Amino acid sequence: MTEIKKAFPKFDFTQGEVLLLNKPYKWTSFDVVGKIRNSFKPLKLKVGHAGTLDPLATGLLIICTGKLTKQIDIYQAEEKEYTGTFTLGATTPSYDLETEIDQTFDLSNLTEAQILENCEHFIGDLDQFPPAHSAIKVDGERLYLKARRGEEVALKTRKVTIKEFEITRLELPEVDFRVVCSKGTYIRSLAKDFGEKLNNGAYLSRLKRTRSGNFKIEDAFEIMELVNHIREIKREEDFK
């Protein structure tokens, strides 16, 4: 079967473009920004992302170029949608797969009804503790750097809103979910809290951002697909 290539619009990168990209697994958001920025060389162009994705997450990353980098805060503030998997019966210090399991729990007494009903406790306005292994700055330093040194930091709760939260597959120890939430919501923290509410444990084992505002993952480019296109049009006179 012949592969159908995605059609590219006529870009004006200097005036500003909003680029939708599918962030690969284990890439940082800064890795993606750097790859796009380097593809413009020798042209020096402002490039930034509108909302960090953890390295172990995949999915929609919004990249702004040129004059539209001034609107990054607007795009970053929009509602997000994620899909992913919680693994029940264990916890990790980072609340995901970045660190090793530190505690295990018995799942034999957990029922499907209990797990499904548990979702109701996490819909609405919540006070959420961010993970110690996060990019939040405390005293000018990222929290994950302090956590990796074994330093304990008194974390403060943040107000977040979860609009929708549903279980889409339940095959213990795995629980697949879909969540629609406000800016600043940590799905890793949601995993931890979800397990604790069940008097058990849970960590985030898979995460994909599927929507941000009106932007959807279905409309995103693969990184190298876009980079190669940029390199091609750089040779044209109307490249901006």
pLDDT tens-digit series, residues 83-121: 999 999 999 999 999 999 999 999 999 999 999 999 999
* Whether the Cβ atoms of residue 147 and residue 158 lie closer than 8 Å to each other: no
Is 54 annotated in the active site? Answer: yes
Q: For residues 98 and 177, what is the distance between their CA atoms, to the nearest angstrom?
A: 20
pLDDT for 228: 92
* Main-chain phi, psi angles of 212, to 5 degrees: -140, 110
- The predicted model scores a pTM of 0.89
User: pLDDT: is 17 or 136 the higher one?
Assistant: 17
Q: For residues 190 and 128, what is the distance between their CA atoms, to the nearest angstrom?
A: 8
In which residue are the tokens 């977040």 written?
A: 160
pLDDT for 10: 86
Tokens for 222, please give them. Answer: 């693969």
Catalytic site residue from 54, 96, 102, 106: 54
Rounded (10°) angle between helices 29-39 and 223-233: 20
Q: What is the mean pLDDT of residues 30-56?
A: 92
Could you tell me which residues come within 8 angstroms of residue 83 by beta carbon, excluding any fewer than 6 positions away?
A: 168, 176, 177, 178, 179, 207, 208, 210
Q: What is the mean pLDDT of residues 151-169?
A: 86
